[in-house]
Structures are given as structure tokens and as C-alpha cells.
Chain A
Amino acid sequence: MTNAVEIRGLRKSFSDLEVLKGIDLDVAEGEAVVLLGSSGSGKSTLLRCINFMEEPTAGQIRLNGDLIGTEQGGRMRYHEADLCKLRTRIGMVFQHFNLFPHMTVLENVMEGQTIVLGRSKAEAKDKAMTQLLRVGLEMKAEEYPARLSGGQKQRVAIARALAMDPEVMLFDEVTSALDPELVGEVLKTMLQLAEDGMTMVCVTHEIGFAYHVANKVCFLHDGLILEQGAPQFVLQTPETQRVRDFLAGHSLFKLPN
């Protein structure tokens, strides 16, 4: 079986700062992978390389078997048009939602479908409503984003990405900007997606979510994957002190059971 995402030898530098130093990662179809790591370890950069929001400096990425870019003289070359097409196959959700404030919720979810995929208005509207229903916001279709709560905005952002029928969904700390009481509704939506068999790569600090939802947890440190495996192993019996310290920091103030 081919992997949904296959990353080999991925490196990324910003001028002379090397952020990713050779990442190998497989994401099987229908799998939910959670990336953990301290701030600045390169989680966002890795995620953004998968849909080429950032162009890798070296290495190869395959999406459902398709090698992205063309090899030329030992280096990968990317054409913007190909990358645009690729991005339609990968959904991305951001920490700060980034909804289009001048469009209604429905228009937000239709925009990519009509402008990028060239779907008819009717078809796009149909698909948009289906996805809004899925995230439980069909009644907000005619509202402008400014009138939604943070949790609702984030669910619209998820619907907007889903409406493109992506093969993989990327989530970058999508609950970090939310008030604590709104985190649950977004995590529940993501859990639902995982249960529906969506292939997902999530950066999150919600260790509980990682434990219960992820098929695989990867711990990034200093541009490399330090540990990876099933959440039970990585989160409960980590091999390295680094991961133990990280997890200890995250459960410092846990309620007694």
C-alpha cells in the first residue's frame, strides 16, 4: 500500500538557519499523526513543507505516490502552477483561522471550489453546505466571520479546507488561539474527522488529544524526529530524557485522579 504522505530526507533552511535537518516520515492513508516538540523545533516548518507553503531546501515528498516537483541535476525543482495544484489536494488549518472577513461563511467555503477547482456555483454551494453540516455550522452559512466565536471560526476554517476534498489535512496548533472552553468543540470536530478516516497531520500541544486520537506521535527536536511511534509508547514510555522533560512540563499541573 502506498502512503498518503511520504517524506524522505527533508531539509529546510531559512538563509543560514537550518530548521529541518533530514526528516523521514510516512503517513499511511487514514492515519492521524501528531507532531510534538518544543517551540522552535520546526513543527510548523515541517507541516508547511508538506503542502509547499515553504519550499524544501532538499529531500523528496510524495503525495499518494506522486513525487512533487521534478528532479533536475540532483535537485528538486518546483513550478508554482504545480504547487498550486498540489495545495488543492492538501487542506490546511491555521492557528488564527484566517477566514476571509469580507465573505460570508458560505462564500468562504465556496471560494476555493469555484475559483480554484472551477466547480459550478450550485455544486460548490451543495458541497459547502455538506461540510458546514459536518462541522455543525449549517445555520451560520449566511453570517460574516466577525460574528462567530473563535471555536465556530475554526470549524468554518476546517469546513473550508474539507470542501476541497483534500487527500490529507494539516492542522497547525488550531486550538492554541482559543479560549479554553472553546477548545473542546474544535478537538471534537477533529476527532470526528479522524474517525471518518481522514488522513491528518496535526501539530498540537493537546497531549490528551494525541494520546486518544493519534495513530502515531512524532517528537521533533532540533530539526530531527527524535522519537516516533504509537502514542502509548512515545507518551507513556519515552526513550529519551528530552521527551520525558517535555511531557513532564505539559502535565505539571494535572488534577489528581
Chain B
Amino acid sequence: MVVEIVRERLLYEWDFVATLADMDLLLLGLWNTIQVFFLALVFGVPLGLGLALGRMSRILVLSQLCSFIIEFFRTTPPLVQLFWFFFALPILISVQMTPFVASVLTFSIQSSAFFAEIFRGGINSIDKGQWEAAKAIGMTRKSSLTRIILPQAVKRMIPAFAERSIELLKTTTLISTVSYADLMFQANELASKNFRPLEVYTVVAIMYFFLILTFSQLTIRLEYRLAKTGEGTLR
């Protein structure tokens, strides 16, 4: 009996023809995934910096507010956040969300909470003497931050930043649940159409693999380039 099943599994005949014939569906999904990912980074990174600076602010109210936002989005499941933005928020502000807007909104804010902690860690890791030296030549806190502290902090943050972005990219598969046509959604559609889930999800896994590989290669290259000038995490 067991032998039967094993033989049956081994005898599964792979057939990629149907899947590859509908490759354009998957590529469209890939493109949609990249769009959400890219926009979540574009909005999430600056928002994360803002939250980090807010959290480190000497203004107590601001600091506590930012801490709360960061902790809230770090500790609630992304799927719950997505549903909240997609189903609940429109009721409150009576604006219809498209799946795309809800997805970008959710993942921008969600990832900004994580980026905020990376920024905070990076900024705090810079020696206090750097702030002092900048202050002593008459720099304002703002130019000390942008000219002296952040350029050094960002270099140290890249590995953590890359790690988090990859996590974000994988989490975007959740947006298929609000019918946004990302790669995962397209895969589900295709699999239920051509009855070849094994092939479809294999192809999709490979696509995610290469997408993330490309991204992480880019960050490693960036890290090396920055390491060349002065201090860096790599040598």
C-alpha cells in the first residue's frame, strides 16, 4: 500500500507546457508584486526614518506616539493589518480602497515600523563623539544628522535593511487574499485553471527565488561599494 503511493508519487509526470503557455499571467503577477514591494520601500524607508527620529525625540508626546505606532505594527499580524486597511478603514473614512492602494498602504506602514527600529539601532550605534565633533564646529542637529551621523549609520544598516526587505517581499504574498493580482494570486488562478498546481507553484517558487536573489545581490554590491570609503561592515 505504502509502496503503491510512493510509486505513484515518483511516477508523477511533470508537464510544464500548460504553465509555460500562460507565463504572461505569471509575469504580470510578478510585475504587480514588484510594484507593491518597490512602493512599500519608497514610502516605508522615509516613514521609518521619520518614526525613528520621532521615537528618539526629546519631545515626550512625540516620542511616545512614535513608539506606540512602531510597536503596534511590529506586533500585529500583517494579514490583520491588511484586512483592517482594506475592509475596516473604508467604513471609517468612507473611501473605497482598491486592493492595490490597501496593499501599498499596509506594507509601507508595516515595513516602516521595522525600518524605524533599524534606523534607530544604526543611529544609536554611532559614537557620541561624532555628534560632539559636529556640534563643536557649529553644525545644527539637523546637519549633524544628515551629514555626519546618517551616512555612517546607513552603511551599518544595510545588512539588516536587506534582511527586512526580503521578509517584506515574502509577506507581500498575503495581498492575494484581497484579490490583488500579485504573483501568488496569479499562481492560484492559473493552478485552478490548468489543474497543474505542482508545476505552477514550482515555477512561482523559482521566480521568487530569482527575484530575491537579485535583490540581495544588489544590496551586497552596494555594501561593498560603501565599504570602500572609510568604515563599513565589509572589508
Contact = CB atoms under 8 A, between A and B. Distances in A.
B152 interface: yes
A87 B155 contact: no
Given A94-B129, A144-B229, A111 B135 contact: no
Interface stretch (B26-34, B136-144, B197-205): B136-144
Contacts, number: 70
A231 interface: no
Contacts of B140: 80-81, 84
Contacts of A45: none
A98 interface: yes
B136 A116 contact: no
A161 B230 contact: no
A42 interface: no
A53 B136 contact: yes
B90 interface: no
A142 B124 CA distance: 28
Contacts of A164: 137-138
B148 interface: yes
A102 interface: yes
Interface in A142-180: 144-146, 157, 160-161, 164
A116 B137 contact: yes
Nearest to B144: A115
Interface residues of A, number: 32
A100 B130 contact: yes
Given A115-B147, A146-B230, A92 B138 contact: no
B163 interface: no
A100 B147 CA distance: 10
B138 A87 contact: yes
Given A101-B230, A102-B152, A116 B138 contact: yes
Nearest to A160: B137
A190 to B, nearest CB: 17
Given A144-B229, A145-B230, A146-B231, A100 B133 contact: yes
Interface string A115-126: 111000000000
Contacts of B155: 102
Nearest to A93: B136
B135 A87 contact: yes
Interface string A81-105: 1001111100110101111111100
Nearest to A84: B138
B46 interface: no
A199 interface: no
Contacts of B136: 51, 53, 87, 91-92, 94, 161
A117 B130 CA distance: 19
A238 interface: no
Given A84-B138, A164-B137, 17 more contacts: A84-B140, A86-B138, A87-B136, A91-B136, A94-B133, A99-B133, A100-B133, A101-B231, A102-B151, A102-B155, A103-B230, A111-B137, A112-B138, A115-B139, A115-B143, A116-B138, A117-B138
20 contacts: A51-B136, A84-B138, A85-B138, A87-B135, A87-B136, A94-B129, A94-B133, A98-B127, A98-B129, A98-B130, A99-B133, A100-B134, A102-B151, A112-B139, A116-B138, A144-B230, A146-B230, A146-B231, A157-B133, A164-B138
In order of increasing CB-CB distance, the 10 nearest A-B pairs are A112-B137, A88-B138, A98-B133, A98-B129, A92-B136, A87-B138, A116-B138, A102-B230, A101-B231, A144-B230
